[in-house]
Structure 1
Amino acid sequence: MKFSATIKALGLTAAVALAPMTASGAQAAGTLTTAVAIDPGSWDPIDTFLVDWSSAANNIFDGLTARGADMKLKPGLATSWEFLDNNSRIRFKLRQNVKFHNGEPFNAEAVKFTFDRLLGEEGRKGPQQSNYNSIDHVEVVDDSTVDFVMKQPDPVLLTKLAGYGGMIVPPKYIQEKGDAYFNMNPVGTGPFKFAEYTPKVSLTLEAFPEHWGGAPKLDKVVTRFISEANTQVAELQAGRIDVATLIPFGLAPTVEKSPNLSLISITGPTVVALRLNTKEGITKDVNVRKALIMGIDRDAIIKAVLLGHAKPIASFQSDLSFGYDPSMKPLPFDLAKAKQMLQQAKVPAGAPVRIDFRGNDATFREVAQAAAGFLQALGLKPSLQPHEPPVLLNDIIPNGKTGEAWHNAWGGWTFDYDNTAYLMYHSGEKWNPYDNDPKLNALLEKQRTMYDVKEREKVLQEIARYVADQALEIPLYNQNTLYGVNKRVKNFDAPSDRRFRFTETTVE
């Protein structure tokens, strides 16, 4: 099957009708309206891992550390930190004269309460506790100083403290109102405070002028929950939202050509691969796995399906990731060589290759169809098996029920290869149903004990090279983060991880 025929079969030339831009839907000055796909259902930092939570709640809460769109770690509610007692204790000096939105003071007791809660019974109900299990407990030294007493080293902890579960919450407010009330009526120390929440519809935040970093320039931020990408684009064109976070690749040119809109396409954290079954079938053979990699033209897929809004990868991480090795290059597309390798491995003509994937991912369905075309050109018999995401993610993959290949898309807001590699490749992990490699396990465990940045980076790069040599996956691409933005929005600092911070943003 020729690739051009495959692409034609995908229907990439289909046009989508969109609503025209109208002035009638414009927002009032001083109000910025964004759209995200999912309503998290709770605004408590320990209740979620969803990026769409952080797109809004990153404006409500602060962490001890902070990380902006420039990816650099900087002081947040802690002004400084130091490692003591052979790195078994981390001492944080806290910012003074900071208030929560309800007037409650931020201090060492608030930090201790936050982490006692996160590491205790309430935190056990949510998905964030496991990210912080390296912490044994938090000790109050004085009103503006706390010590994190560590069970084990955690070289990624300072980054984790800049988001999600580590965000600082108000003790008195939660104790008086209860967890259920806090879920729906959040209070933090961030630049915007909670105003109104209508589940499945929208969240409205108002400026908090007393924020320690200075008053935000906007009056309000409204986050609307719109799950359909085409609807987000139509609302953007109609002027009813200012920032859209779901831009289908096929509609990127439409947004780009709209006179009142800008398309922002930047390197993001999301990488996409076809993981391979190393235990059964033809993919048990490492040389067959390498042949499959060389038999799929990833550059052609990026160009035709993703319209160039991605880049090829050699390992399962973006070039923004700590641990990325710029010297690594993807195996080249070489159909003739791949066929030869399959013959040498005595793979019979028409051998089956089943690809399991998330059935709701329209873009990846096109990618999978294109990949299947290449596998068919290798003389194999590919088949595509869509699944409901919960079934694929909670049953098919962790229980080792996949075919020869399966769809794996992974983000990782920490931009640290550990948070991908350990979960993907260490034996016993949910996302690694087939491998138990002592050498790889040892490397993964070794880097988790290291605070020396340069030495740890070397080990992470060694892990990436080893995984590539074992061909545990077909690395496909690093997907760009796309935004559609109304041109009336100014000083919008587009973050790769969609964790917005609107302190300096304005609208005209």
Structure 2
Amino acid sequence: MALMLLVSVFFGCQATQQPDPTQAGNQPSTGDNTQTPTPDSSNAGDNTDRVAKDTITIVTESEPETLDPASANTDAIALTLGMIGDHLFDLQADGSITLGGICESYEQIDDVTVKFVLKEGVKFSDGTDLTSEDILWELSRLKEAPRSASNFAFVNAEESEIVDDRTIIVKFNQAWAPYQNTLSTGRGTIVSKAAFEAMGEADFSRAPVTTGPYKVAEWIPGTSITLTRNEYYWGEPAKTENIVIKFIPEATSRVIELETGAADIAYYIEGNDVARVDALDGYHVESGDAYRYLVVTFSMQDAILKDARVRQALCYAIDQELLVEASSDGLGTAITGFCSTPAAGYKALDPWPYDVEKAKSLLAEAGYADGFTIDLHVEPISLYEKAAEIIQSMWAEVGVTANIVSSALATYDAQHNGQFQACIRDSTASEISNMLIIYESSFGSRIQGNDDWLDGKLLELRTYYYDDPQRTTCLDEIYTYLNEQRYSYPYMNMPINYAVSDKLEGFEFHPAIDHMKHITDWVVYE
């Protein structure tokens, strides 16, 4: 078998524990993180004279459309789920994968069999017990739900076995290399089967019943989500009673929240606002490498874009150096591979040339000498909108009119019956198989996969465990094919920039905003 069949049992949930070192190779260069020193906290152990705020306010760029893990295909969804939920595995800041806190142990029996033992006494936020039945039910649901089916396709629920309330044997259809990473994501959040069935999908998606340190108290559409401490949490209670997550799409407006003292943390501080925050009295920026990269995608099913010559032409028409510099105010880094540079498996390819005449020639060859008009969809986030305007101008040079549509993903999806043309999106997945899954037909969203060869190769990639040389060969074949077909134009890595109050204690940098497990230690003293 590809995976060495050593039966390894891991107990507890220690930070140094690595369930599978071969899955821990997704490490950003955390050594390059820059952190402005916070005020002296030498007396932090004696808080008798200090008053802690009962609410920490976070401002972020977008509102989740749902909190159902089965639909957690955006950072906005996963961010909140990371604060209210738990997973069978956790992604640490150094890229390693550790056993989730709700688990007592796990055992990799063979390539297609894993045994989990749940920690005793874990309860959901409604006070009911977490059991093996919840785990198997959720994995089964994730395999069937449209937005998570591609990620959980290898789950074999029929042959999995509930041994007792705390023990479950999970079977895969075939070897599934990234299962630990996949189970650590927002989609892998464990929820209550009984609560889901009692509440119904619609109500549950607004206030899911989970096992994490917080639970949803209020959701004001378009404004904020308020979380409150989960009194049934299995771990140490969160030090701060409430978390308010405010949705503010405009980056500059998020900084204003800091300037007025209305926020304790701001996510996605971009461009010139980094220096602006660092100049604020009482706040600092914590920055570091991240898994986030930006990419222009082209639908495989669109009548115009299904022609490879058209996709290649649109890529030739983009001046990457200018796009990266102008859209990110110099913070972004150009990439030539098909994933983020910190991810294990990133491979730099030859840069795609900027060649306007070549673009025009390919368009004429494809029958579009006079150009055409397409939608370029972006979510209403300044980083995307700036890039869209730049690309719009570049495509105009070769006769292509891009109609920029800035709207929530779910809104555009519903209005166009799931049909996209060109899009600008980011990806923050931390494992290469889960990054490339956007090209699969079963993934559906935006690229709208429709390539049998690529579907087969991407599924094959996930069957090779990380110590198998065939994995590298398969990945190289995929990269070569994607570079030729140009279903996308990856153009930039972006660092993660958090604006943090100097009064906030317990904050630790993480390259993925949806994995803030140390949130229980956050406290702001007046």
TM-score for both structures, normalised by structure 1: 0.75
Matched ranges for 1:473-488 at <5 A: 473-488=488-503
Matched ranges for 1:94-243 at <5 A: 94-115=118-139, 118=142, 124=145, 127-137=147-157, 138-171=160-193, 173=195, 182-208=204-230, 211-243=233-265
Matched ranges for 1:346-495 at <5 A: 352=371, 354=373, 356-358=375-377, 360=380, 362-371=382-391, 374=394, 380-387=398-405, 389=407, 402=421, 406-413=422-429, 415-424=430-439, 431-432=446-447, 436=451, 438=453, 440-455=454-469, 456-495=471-510
Post-superposition Cα deviations, 1:207-254, rounded to whole Å, max 9, x if no partner, equal: 457744433333332223344444332222211111122545353432
Post-superposition Cα deviations, 1:443-463, rounded to whole Å, max 9, x if no partner, equal: 223213223444324422431
Contact persistence 1:324–1:461 (CA under 8 A) = no
- Distance in 2 (CA, whole Å) between partners of 1:399 and 1:185 is 29
Post-superposition Cα deviations, 1:103-136, rounded to whole Å, max 9, x if no partner, equal: 43333233234445556xxx74x73355334223
- Distance in 2 (CA, whole Å) between partners of 1:194 and 1:340 is 53
Check 1:434–1:168 CA distance in 2 against 1; reply closer, same or farther (3 A cut).
Answer: closer
SS in 2 for 1:305: helix
The code of the aligned residue for 1:128 comes to S
Contact persistence 2:69–2:187 (CA under 8 A) = yes
Check 1:42–1:312 CA distance in 2 against 1; reply closer, same or farther (3 A cut).
Answer: closer
SS in 2 for 1:140: strand
Q: Partner of 2:8 in structure 1?
A: none
Check 1:267–1:355 CA distance in 2 against 1; reply closer, same or farther (3 A cut).
Answer: farther
**What's the offset of the Cα at 1:435?**
6.3
- Distance in 1 (CA, whole Å) between partners of 2:305 and 2:137 is 53
Check 1:425–1:431 CA distance in 2 against 1; reply closer, same or farther (3 A cut).
Answer: farther
- Distance in 1 (CA, whole Å) between partners of 2:503 and 2:166 is 42
Identity of aligned residues (%): 23
Contact persistence 1:35–1:241 (CA under 8 A) = yes
Q: Partner of 1:21 in structure 2?
A: none
The code of the aligned residue for 2:511 comes to S
- Distance in 2 (CA, whole Å) between partners of 1:369 and 1:222 is 33
Check 1:399–1:49 CA distance in 2 against 1; reply closer, same or farther (3 A cut).
Answer: closer
**What's the offset of the Cα at 1:408?**
3.3
**What's the offset of the Cα at 1:383?**
2.6
Contact persistence 1:412–1:419 (CA under 8 A) = no
Residue 328 in 1 paired to residue 349 in 2?
A: yes
SS in 2 for 1:475: strand
- Distance in 1 (CA, whole Å) between partners of 2:136 and 2:201 is 17
Post-superposition Cα deviations, 1:16-73, rounded to whole Å, max 9, x if no partner, equal: xxxxxxxxxxx96253211234444654434543422332231221111112333321
The code of the aligned residue for 2:152 comes to Y
- Distance in 2 (CA, whole Å) between partners of 1:393 and 1:180 is 18
- Distance in 2 (CA, whole Å) between partners of 1:155 and 1:229 is 38
Post-superposition Cα deviations, 1:346-379, rounded to whole Å, max 9, x if no partner, equal: 87997536563126455444334434555667xx
TM-score for both structures, normalised by structure 2: 0.73
Post-superposition Cα deviations, 1:446-496, rounded to whole Å, max 9, x if no partner, equal: 213223444324422431233224444433212333332222223322333
**What's the offset of the Cα at 1:75?**
0.5
Q: Partner of 1:507 in structure 2?
A: 524
SS in 1 for 2:151: helix
- Distance in 2 (CA, whole Å) between partners of 1:280 and 1:182 is 38
The code of the aligned residue for 2:457 comes to L
The code of the aligned residue for 1:505 comes to W
Q: Partner of 1:88 in structure 2?
A: 112
SS in 2 for 1:299: helix
SS in 1 for 2:80: helix
Contact persistence 2:84–2:210 (CA under 8 A) = yes
Residue 254 in 1 paired to residue 276 in 2?
A: yes
The code of the aligned residue for 1:49 comes to N
Check 1:91–1:188 CA distance in 2 against 1; reply closer, same or farther (3 A cut).
Answer: same
User: How many residue pairs get matched?
Assistant: 464
The code of the aligned residue for 1:421 comes to L
Check 1:63–1:464 CA distance in 2 against 1; reply closer, same or farther (3 A cut).
Answer: same
- Distance in 1 (CA, whole Å) between partners of 2:305 and 2:199 is 58
Contact persistence 1:271–1:316 (CA under 8 A) = no
Q: Partner of 1:24 in structure 2?
A: none
SS in 2 for 1:132: coil
Q: Partner of 2:327 in structure 1?
A: 305
SS in 2 for 1:168: coil
Check 1:237–1:441 CA distance in 2 against 1; reply closer, same or farther (3 A cut).
Answer: same
Check 1:354–1:479 CA distance in 2 against 1; reply closer, same or farther (3 A cut).
Answer: farther
Contact persistence 1:272–1:476 (CA under 8 A) = yes
- Distance in 2 (CA, whole Å) between partners of 1:282 and 1:144 is 50
Contact persistence 1:355–1:368 (CA under 8 A) = no
- Distance in 2 (CA, whole Å) between partners of 1:80 and 1:427 is 32
Contact persistence 2:150–2:437 (CA under 8 A) = no
Contact persistence 2:56–2:524 (CA under 8 A) = yes
Contact persistence 2:106–2:117 (CA under 8 A) = yes
SS in 2 for 1:53: helix
- Flag structure 1 segments of 5+ consecutive residues without an equivalent: 1-26
- Flag structure 2 segments of 5+ consecutive residues without an equivalent: 1-50
Q: Partner of 2:36 in structure 1?
A: none
Residue 263 in 1 paired to residue 285 in 2?
A: yes
SS in 2 for 1:503: helix
- Distance in 2 (CA, whole Å) between partners of 1:302 and 1:89 is 44
